[in-house]
């Protein structure tokens, strides 16, 4: 009589475990975005593996063309829709290649650190080839990469204006040691 009762527990445990596994995998699929650089996204438009219709996280640089704000009437009132370009290399403008730019439409306030040529990450739906309907726009804090708002002005920065974490750590350690010895000597 112990065998049928034991089988029930095993089968019940397997059903519960498989249901939990199914819940975890389906929730991960809906909350996970694929990160794609602008160049890769635009190159895929010419292939059967286009990203149109998918939720994505696109990384690039804000284009140098000005942000266009267009008022749009909704059932809840008027909303300003911001339209701007995201480019693959930050050198957008009149000479930018069409396959290296992405037009983004965003219906919320842009971050304070949003600036032309700055790094940007856009989450949303790739609605048509070259156009994205954004849900979120994220920018990097410029103070982490440059001093006084001048790209490339930071000590130890490379040609793009970014500091190497290993180099900065070594500078901090080297700079901290003489100060400690000077304090202990007095």
Q: Does this model's pTM top 0.85?
A: no
Residue 175's CB: how many other CB atoms inside 10 A?
9
At 159, the pLDDT band (50, 70, 90 cuts) reads: low
User: Higher confidence at residue 145 or residue 3?
Assistant: 3
Position 140 pLDDT exceeds 90 = no
Position 185 pLDDT exceeds 50 = no
pLDDT in tens, 3-59: 777 888 889 999 999 999 988 887 766 667 788 888 888 888 888 888 888 888 898
Distance CA 124, CA 32 (A): 12
pLDDT in tens, 61-118: 988 888 899 888 888 888 889 999 998 876 545 455 656 888 999 988 888 888 888 8
Contacts with 153 (C-beta within 8 Å, 6 or more apart), sequence order: 146, 147, 161
Please, what are the domains in the chain?
Answer: 32-140 (2.40.50.140), 143-179 (no CATH)
């Amino acid at each position: 009589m112990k065998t049928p009762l034991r089988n029930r527990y095993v089968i019940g445990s397997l059903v519960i475990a498989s249901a939990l596994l199914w819940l975890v995998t389906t929730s991960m699929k809906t909350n996970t975005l694929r990160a794609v650089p602008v160049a890769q996204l635009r190159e895929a438009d010419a292939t059967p593996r286009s990203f149109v219709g998918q939720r994505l996280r696109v990384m690039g640089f804000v284009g140098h063309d000005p942000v266009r704000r267009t008022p749009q009437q909704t059932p809840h009132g008027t909303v300003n829709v911001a339209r701007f370009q995201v480019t693959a290399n930050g050198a957008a403008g009149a000479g930018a290649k069409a396959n290296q730019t992405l037009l983004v439409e965003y219906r919320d306030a842009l971050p304070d650190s949003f600036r032309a040529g700055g790094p940007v990450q856009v989450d949303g739906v790739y609605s048509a080839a070259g156009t994205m309907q954004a849900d979120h726009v994220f920018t990097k804090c410029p103070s982490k990469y440059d001093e006084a708002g001048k790209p490339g002005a930071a000590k130890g920065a490379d040609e793009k204006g970014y500091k190497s974490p290993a180099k900065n750590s070594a500078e901090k350690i080297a700079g901290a040691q003489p100060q400690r010895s000077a304090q202990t000597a007095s």
